[in-house]
Chain A
Amino acid sequence: MKRHTLTISIIILAIVVFFTGFFVKKERFFDENIQLKKENENLKVELQELKTGNCGVIVLQSDILIVKVFSTYPFNIKNQIVVDAGEAQGIKNLMPALFGNNILLGQIIKVSKNTSIIQTIFDPDWQLPVRIGENEISGLLQGGNEPRITFIEKDKPINTGDIVYSAGQGFPLKLKVGEISEIKESAPGVFKEAVLAVPFNIGALRKVEILLK
């Protein structure tokens, strides 16, 4: 009986500790860290544009609505997040969701009066035509826990670190999606694949940006 009571006490203690201010303090630093990451990513995009003269999409601050994230979808099957803004705040279906001002995170797929659901690039059902690097090599972004770029022609040169931009209708052309982190030349057929690295952890997001125009 003692062992039983002890185990239950440990579980209750764990729950209490989890919901106490100890974690709130940590979360504040966590939020600041994410904010810095966003600013860093925005600067990287601007720097890339200056270096290459390859002018990507310029998102105006006035076109952005910053919304808070309610929850993340709790299974691997889909990857969606719920945010605290909806029709009443001017959100419409298919609007792009961003991390910072320049990185594509997903797309609004369901709008209620005061909430919306964003389908993220980690959703296995997500697909988007993209272009890679300065040579604008075409590929198809296939969502999932580890997003991949498929249908890259084998004879087209790509490198790790190359920036991947959106090229699909419904999104601003040349919106950054991420960077190539690994190339799989051994894929069967005439195409090769690449793994996409994104600069954010979907589970850690507390605020995201919605592109209203």
Chain B
Amino acid sequence: MKFFSLVILVGVLSIIQAYGLSVFGVIPNLALVAVVVSAFFAVNFFEGFFLILFSVLILKFSSGFGIELLVFTLIGAVAVVVAKLIPWHYLVGSLTAVIIAVLFFYAFLNPALILSFVFVKELFLDIIVSLAVFAFLHILWQDK
């Protein structure tokens, strides 16, 4: 049931992402946030990798497998592995992971944008979304 919740969460946020929802002209990376935060709640690597592939399937933008989705998959995969290794509290760990994931996403695809206001605004939105996602999953996981 908990894994099903992760699938629903990643699915919903990826669908919203695929629709290109923008907030004040900036598109938050909801799918990446969902995948990275979920990696901290997934029971094993298999669940984490499944969520990444599920998200990529929804996000698939056009024919072929674009470099953006390849980077997305790689960053997600690294997050899944790292989530099981870092010793920090889950909230600190997932927030740090989201910030690093967004930074790497831009660094791989368009490093020049890291110094722009767009990046700062997106990072801010991503942090807010990741806090909401973390709170949501934390409540679910507390439920016995």
CB of B85 within 8 A of chain A? no
The residues of B with any CB-CB pair to A shorter than 8 Å are 1, 4-5, 8-9, 12, 15, 17-22, 25-27, 29, 31, 59, 61-63, 68, 105-106, 109-110, 112-113, 116-119, 122, 136, 139-140, 143-144
**How many A residues are at the interface, by size bracket?**
20 to 34
13 CB contacts below 8 A, A to B, read A7-B136, A15-B15, A71-B18, A73-B20, A74-B18, A75-B68, A77-B105, A77-B110, A77-B113, A82-B62, A117-B62, A144-B116, A145-B25
Are A11 and B8 closer than 8 Å at their CB atoms? yes
**Chain B hits for A82, CB < 8 A:** 61-62
Q: Which single member of B22, B59, B110, B139 contacts A203 (CB below 8 Å)?
A: B22
**Chain A hits for B62, CB < 8 A:** 71, 82, 115, 117
CB of A160 within 8 A of chain B? no
**Chain B hits for A28, CB < 8 A:** none
Q: Which single member of A3, A4, A77, A203 contacts B1 (CB below 8 Å)?
A: A4
A7 to B4, CA, bound (A): 12
Are A14 and B12 closer than 8 Å at their CB atoms? yes
**Chain A hits for B15, CB < 8 A:** 15
**CB-CB contacts of A1-20 with B at 8 A, as 1s and 0s?**
10110011001101100000
A125 to B62, CA, bound (A): 19
CB of A76 within 8 A of chain B? yes
Are A145 and B5 closer than 8 Å at their CB atoms? no
Q: How many Å from the CB of A71 to the closest CB on chain B?
A: 7
Q: Which single member of A7, A71, A75, A202 contacts B140 (CB below 8 Å)?
A: A7
Q: How many Å from the CB of B2 to the closest CB on chain A?
A: 8
**CB-CB contacts of A111-125 with B at 8 A, as 1s and 0s?**
010010100000011
